[in-house]
């Protein structure tokens, strides 16, 4: 069973039985300073997880639909973005253009 901060401090108080040594007081102060309110962080993480799961599901569904539709589309329409054509004219680069002879 999970205990809250107050129950934990009460158990420490019972365990130390009124001992007021420096070590016991340090432990009690340390225990009381522990941040146990993580509800905001948990909510934020749950929201991020939910958003990422939704994004993953949307991407998965889009990929599956695109893949499935490729089977029913005519061959010339299977790809929405056809490969770019080769450059013409002055933009053509040959292997000789890539290497310069040593002088």
pLDDT digit string (tens) for the chain, length 103 residues = 667 778 888 888 888 887 888 988 888 888 877 766 677 788 889 999 999 999 999 999 999 998 888 888 777 666 666 556 665 666 777 777 778 777 6
Domain range spanning residue 9? 1-36
Per-residue pLDDT, 77: 67
User: Are 23 and 44 in a shared domain?
Assistant: no
Could you tell me if 31 and 51 lie in one domain?
no
- The DSSP secondary-structure symbol of 46 reads H
User: Is 20 contained in some domain?
Assistant: yes
Q: How many domains does the chain have?
A: 2
Do residues 46 and 66 share a domain?
yes
Evaluate whether residue 2 is within a structural domain: yes
Tokens in use for 55?
Answer: 């994004």
Domain membership flag for residue 42:
yes
On whether residue 29 sits in a domain, the answer given is yes
4 and 26 co-located in one domain? yes
Query: Cα(85)–Cα(45) distance, rounded to whole angstroms?
Result: 47
Q: How many helices (H) and strands (E) does the chain have?
A: 4, 0
DSSP label at residue 84: P
- Residue 103 inside a domain? The answer is no
State the pTM of this model: 0.41
């Amino acid at each position: 069973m999970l205990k809250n901060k107050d129950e934990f401090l009460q158990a420490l108080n019972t365990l130390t039985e009124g001992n007021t040594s420096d070590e016991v007081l340090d432990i009690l102060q340390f225990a009381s300073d522990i941040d146990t309110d993580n509800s905001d962080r948990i909510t934020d993480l749950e929201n991020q997880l939910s958003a990422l799961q939704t994004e993953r599901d949307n991407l998965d569904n889009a990929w599956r639909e695109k893949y499935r539709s490729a089977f029913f589309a005519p061959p010339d329409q299977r790809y929405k973005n056809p490969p770019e054509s080769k450059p013409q004219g002055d933009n053509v680069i040959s292997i000789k253009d890539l290497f310069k002879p040593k002088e």
